Structure 1
């Protein structure tokens, strides 16, 4: 529990830190990095980690994950068959490996030797039960859409440690399915998660929804037991509360701090600042099937009128890097060789003249649902005015915003967490995609995706993905102006926090690999 007196003192310390020299201490890199300067990992202790929670309705059912706090709890208690590496490519976890048939529509997955917290081995039956539970149409589990390629009625256990997945169509990127957000493995038949049993690095002790989860080290963990004795995941909705608790010594790890907090403490030594690069794409979606954006020249004019650096500096306080109108910068299959766009107002005006859209007026939907969205909308309004476009900013309800902009309006602020580029294409840019906010629907584009999924050769598949992305770069409806950092705060004695792990990837929130010096 965060006491009022300590939180108040920490708040005062935070306010002073921005204008006063901080006491000497370890650098951010030292407090977040490896053991080279501090010796080998030290066992023992309790880590208190603060994340933005979801209130009294929180659950330990890993198939219901939604928030970062949910994902951190699930990662500590459970395992997936695979997870995403730093470049978002799938890496094995409970799966020791996988092998497709020549047609890419049957995949054989071999399980490693791993056990649940109660001593039972993880088996093929547990995998099939978990996936069938997630895919149940009567439930609203987030990973259900990701598992759609699998024909779970036809899939089967070949033996206790081998699963044969039969697919509805060829799927060269099937390992991404195994790494899907929320696709955790639970023991066969599990429906009660009051005192959950998983196969993750930590075992359950106690849980108070909206407040704290206490876990203990699982000595039988297949990927080496954690260094810590205990892990306590605490909930604090306000960023200031997370920062204050860290400063007051009430926590050793705080997720999602603000750029202002980072600037105040980056070099002071009182806390370490870790930036998780490329963790959130920032952009605008244009409805490609509605005026004025059904004219490709208008979309291209918007690509040319934006000043991406001004958007990153203004909307993200500089905590990020510029984008190039494509998702997944730094990820597998990202076409890094395409020219970086820069603001060109003359080109934008010329395109608008060609389209007969001089003096264009358009409504931009935005919302405070995520940091930087409203600020970015205001900056775009000013930039568009320089090209002769009048933008009216409309601020929507943050509780319904993502649903509202999926089919409503013509132009909207947009944000996305990290995911494989293939998943982004399949979930958002095919004619059948259920979250296609740009309404980009082209049968020939769908055919290219199908060809890529049927292509076993990685180089040939990469070339197909590049063709798809080059077309989006030239004609698409997603204007990607930046990629935001997620900012973590760490106590000076916390070691081993990965600094190259975007949120939602394997090494993010790897509390089994950190230690207290």
Structure 2
């Protein structure tokens, strides 16, 4: 096995040899972390990927300007400092002078500019493009400064820039067209090899400016059966695992040498409706679907109750009590009456798409929803498919209904503008929009007073749940399991695995 040693350790070894200090006590070499997960990445382009499995891999290789820490605060990444102008229309970053890509090239302002120009280019189909539409131009006055000139104040812009969908990539790779086929980032690890749906091999990035990586690499096995992952943990074949199935997670503490990390997350389970076509164009039909679904029942069946019923906003600072939202208590009589008023007393047929593996609860959610909607005459056919097929269909908006697990953010605008604004790059996936949503989103974007922002987004939550284009269900937990040999991992409400950069592995 090839090991990577830090520069100081290499120098110490050289000095020890030169002086003949054969008995000198030397630091122990880092170990390789053996890891497993059940769902592999669907691609390597950080600007395009939306699947959680892809984000979890890419956030170990790439870095944005900022990152969100375990307390949901903004922290430095490639940028060492940042500042808005007094009028809020200029945002200036100072880059870490030590930031380098894994190929040894220094991260330059030109790389930042090229990365955001790529994200903003509609031809890229970047997942988070609409988060950055306030950027009018980008200046690079010196080798460590990037200035974003904005069309208007944009309070959530910093939060948007902390996403891996805003990763900084080399300008040279953009020009060469190799983004997505090579993975050259400035993060704590480099991707040495990727055998899709089988294995990834990561190596510690000796050029990482963020500190010393605790292991010399991570060998990741893709094991679609999570009971097999647990068995591998028990036998010591695996040191650390990402677990999606709550039933498997509950078994981890039964093993004396294993630890379960359980963290509430901002991501949310949702039933997305296509309000552009057929019966679901009718508001009362969508409302009937909302009234017919027992959200707690879905949560109990799919996640063994491991979570909580949620409205659209899952971040603690903005969350609305679900009891204040439209029809969050199941009401079949009201649902049937709404169907009758909409002219669908005899119901209709539709298909719901769901992915195998991400989330593993999708089939269970679909089955409970199928049963509950049958009570109001809606015959729902479930169409299960592999994740990469599902993602392609979902990104095209090609569905009647979709069972989805979508990412949460610390700011409501960053979380939802791509869906619920007229310029949102995923508005065609949302299949709904109105002037009220667009206005509220824009008001929340520029408002700087926290209390006023909270009121704006509370109104947003109440309006969108009444319009019922989607049926928000619940939030759950992220689960990771580790052997006693693994130390130093910190779970994150975003579900990030960036904390693996700090872990160590003992004997």
**Please, what TM-score do these two structures have when normalized by structure 2?**
0.79
Shift of 1:295: 3.6
Shift of 1:415: 2.6
Q: 191, 210, 232: which one pairs with 2:218?
A: 232
Q: Distance in 2 between matches of 1:212 and 1:51?
A: 11
Corresponding residue number in structure 1 for 2:8: none
1:443 aligns with 2:443: no
Q: Distance in 1 between matches of 2:146 and 2:339?
A: 56
Q: 390, 405, 416: which one pairs with 2:406?
A: 416
Q: Distance in 1 between matches of 2:127 and 2:243?
A: 22
Corresponding residue number in structure 1 for 2:164: 181
Matches within 5 A, 1:121-270: 121-136=106-121, 139-151=124-136, 154-190=137-173, 191=176, 198-202=185-189, 206-210=192-196, 211-216=199-204, 218=206, 221-228=208-215, 230-240=216-226, 241-270=228-257
Matches within 5 A, 1:242-391: 242-278=229-265, 280-323=267-310, 326-336=311-321, 339=324, 341-369=328-356, 370=358, 371-386=360-375, 388-391=376-379
Corresponding residue number in structure 2 for 1:74: 58
Deviations 1:484-517 (A, max 9, x none): 33322211221222234332x4xx3321222234
Shift of 1:156: 0.8
Unaligned runs of 5+ in 2: 2-27
Shift of 1:427: 1.0
Q: Distance in 2 between matches of 1:440 and 1:189?
A: 39
Greater per-residue helix proportion: 2
Corresponding residue number in structure 2 for 1:464: 456
Q: Is the 8 A contact 1:53 1:235 kept in 2?
A: no
1:95 aligns with 2:82: no
Shift of 1:380: 1.8
Bigger shift: residues 42-51 or 256-265: 42-51
Shift of 1:466: 2.0
Corresponding residue number in structure 2 for 1:393: 381
Q: Distance in 2 between matches of 1:381 and 1:195?
A: 42
Shift of 1:332: 4.3
Q: Is the 8 A contact 2:350 2:401 kept in 1?
A: yes
Q: Is the 8 A contact 1:366 1:374 kept in 2?
A: no
CA RMSD across the alignment: 3.4
Call closer, same or farther: CA 1:243–1:67 in 2, change over 3 Å: farther
Deviations 1:100-139 (A, max 9, x none): 3355332222223433256654332332233334445554
Q: Distance in 2 between matches of 1:427 and 1:343?
A: 29
Call closer, same or farther: CA 1:509–1:96 in 2, change over 3 Å: closer
Call closer, same or farther: CA 1:461–1:155 in 2, change over 3 Å: same
Q: Distance in 2 between matches of 1:259 and 1:121?
A: 43
Call closer, same or farther: CA 1:454–1:284 in 2, change over 3 Å: same
Q: 487, 493, 505: which one pairs with 2:479?
A: 487
Q: Distance in 1 between matches of 2:393 and 2:182?
A: 37
Describe the SS at the equivalent of 1:464.
helix
Unaligned runs of 5+ in 1: 2-41
Shift of 1:471: 0.8
Q: Distance in 1 between matches of 2:235 and 2:107?
A: 41
Corresponding residue number in structure 2 for 1:48: 34
Shift of 1:262: 1.6
Q: Is the 8 A contact 2:252 2:481 kept in 1?
A: no
Describe the SS at the equivalent of 2:499.
coil
Corresponding residue number in structure 2 for 1:473: 465
Q: Distance in 2 between matches of 1:400 and 1:195?
A: 22
